[in-house]
Amino acid sequence: MLLIRFLIISICILYILRSLVRWFLPMLFQGMVNKAQQQQNAQQQYKQPKPTGAIKVDYMPPAQKGAIPDSEGEFVDYEEVK
């Protein structure tokens, strides 16, 4: 009798929790999405629009002296073993 009572109470609790999650989880996610959209809109307001066709290079590595061109390099002889 105790086992049946425990199972019925457990099923009721799970059903209630499932119902609550269906109601409150979408509200929580909607709030998070709205907050993220507001932050994104605020960041876009502060950015200045780039002129069309403009290219900006952030980093250009320094030229290396004595670099080996791609056409040259080490070649290792090998034999194919079957």
Q: What is the gyration radius of the CA atoms in the chain, in angstroms?
A: 32
The pLDDT confidence band at residue 66, using thresholds 50, 70 and 90, is low
Whole-number pLDDT of residue 43: 77
Tokens in use for 56? Answer: 């900006």
**Higher-scoring residue by pLDDT: 74, 31:** 31
- The pTM assigned to this predicted structure is 0.40
How far is C-alpha 33 from the geometric centre of its chain's CA atoms? Answer: 15
Tokens in use for 55? Answer: 């290219």
Tokens in use for 43? Answer: 């960041």
The pLDDT confidence band at residue 79, using thresholds 50, 70 and 90, is confident
Q: How far apart are CA 59 and CA 53, in angstroms?
A: 19
Amino acid at 67: A
Position 42 pLDDT exceeds 70? yes
